[in-house]
A and B are shown apart, each in its own frame.
Chain A
Amino acid sequence: MIKKWDIILIVTLLLLSFLPEGIFLATGSGTEKNTTYAVVQVDGKEYKTIPLTGHHGTDTFTVQTPQGYNTIVVKDQEIGIVDADCPDQICVHEGFLSKPGQTSVCLPHKVMIEVRSDDADPDIIRAR
């Protein structure tokens, strides 16, 4: 029923399907990763830059502005504002950001988080 040639054929095809893997690995184009990082701005000035790619664990810090505070949490490869004393709480409702181009803004405090990437992706429109 199942012939010797069948097994040879199936194994060959399976191995061939790994060929793109090998080519990308050899040329190195498959291994490079786009690094994503988050930029925290206060009143238009850069306050902090946090690399997101390869980040593990949870980091918490608070941005103090003359208008109030924003507590920012970096959880693994995501960043978000978890607490603020602003009246509208829009930045808190924005949740966690992970993709380049996403932003979380606290207008009353003039705090802005933007996720950026080194990769020149034409689909991303920067929030500036």
Chain B
Amino acid sequence: MNKTFRLIVLGLFVAQSLVLYIVEGMLPVPFIAPGAKLGLANLITVIALYSLPRKRDVFLILLLRVVLSTAFGGGINAFFYSAAGAAFSLSSMIILQKTGKFSLIGVSTAGGIFHNLGQVLVASAVVQNIKILLYLPVLTVAGTGTGILIGLTAYFTLKHLQKLPLYQRLQEA
């Protein structure tokens, strides 16, 4: 991958995740639990994780997405929540992917659950009450559902992406 190609690919990924983030914000929230979201933007992270050879690029995409989505909507509080969630979810997904035991769906679901864990930990730090952790199961159940859906979507997207000659160029580190 030369420099320009890498720049364009990263830009595309960031743009797509931002669009998904904004579209998600327009959807009426179907969950009763506050804080539970579809996590559509995570779809791009999962696809990037499986299509880009270097994890540093995936990290960069996620970082840019979190920073820019804060700029587009949501205040500094939302930034801390998504940053913690993103950090937890990406590290867990990278580790689980490295083990090779889990499929894309397992990795994506674990990412969703760890995203919730990160958010809840930040929330309990913000209000200085560890009892916020009692709220974790509500979020993880919702996160499991969306994680499986995101995993399935990423699986089928990647299946079709692999037919593109462009995809082969992505793999060349």
A positions within 8 Å CB-CB of B = 1-3, 5-7, 9-10, 13-14, 17-18, 20-21, 24, 29-30
Pair A6/B134 contact, Cβ less than 8 Å: no
Instruction: List B contacts of A13 (CB < 8 A).
Output: 109-110, 113, 140, 144
Shortest beta-carbon distance, B72 to chain A, in Å? Answer: 30
Look across to chain A and name the residue whose beta carbon is closest to the beta carbon of B124: A20
Closest beta carbon of chain A to B104's beta carbon, Å: 8
Q: Which residues of B contact A17 (CB under 8 A)?
A: 113, 116-117, 136-137, 139-140
- Select from chain B the residue with minimum beta-carbon distance to A20: B133
Most buried by A among B136, B139, B141, B148: B136
**Other-chain contact of A3, B102, B110, B116, B137 (Cβ < 8 Å):** B102
CB distance from B106 to the nearest CB of A (A): 3
Residues of A contacting B136 in the complex (Cβ-Cβ under 8 angstroms): 17-18, 20-21
A-B contact pairs, 11 of them (CB 8 A): A1-B155, A2-B106, A3-B102, A9-B102, A9-B110, A14-B137, A17-B117, A17-B139, A18-B136, A20-B130, A24-B134
Determine whether B170 belongs to the interface, using a CB cutoff of 8 Å to chain A.
no
Pair B131/A24 contact, Cβ less than 8 Å: yes
Residues on B with C-beta less than 8 A from A6 are 102-103, 105-106, 109
- Consensus secondary structure, chain B interface: helix
Listed residue (A9, A21, A30) with the most chain B CB atoms within 10 angstroms of its CB: A9
Spell out B's residues near A (CB within 8 Å): 96, 101-103, 105-106, 109-110, 113, 116-117, 130-131, 133-134, 136-137, 139-141, 144, 148, 155
Tell me the complex Cα distance, A36–B164, Å: 65
Docked-complex contact B133 and A3, CB < 8 angstroms = no
Whether A2 lies near B113 (C-beta < 8 A) is no
Q: Name the CB-closest residue of A to B138.
A: A17
The chain B residue with its CB closest to the CB of A5 is B101
Tell me the minimal C-beta distance from B138 to chain A in angstroms.
9
6 additional contacts (CB under 8 A) given A5-B102, A5-B106, A20-B133: A3-B101, A10-B113, A10-B148, A13-B140, A17-B137, A30-B134
- Docked Cα-Cα span, A21 to B120, in Å, equals 13
A17 CA / B113 CA spacing, docked (Å) = 9
Q: For the complex, what is the distance from the CA of A109 to the CA of B134, rounded to whole Å?
A: 45
Query: Which A residues touch B113, using CB under 8 A?
Result: 10, 13-14, 17
Q: Which residues of A contact B148 (CB under 8 A)?
A: 10
A5 to B139, CA, bound (A): 22
Q: Are B105 and A1 in contact (CB under 8 A)?
A: yes
- For A5, the chain B residues whose CB sits under 8 A away are 101-103, 106
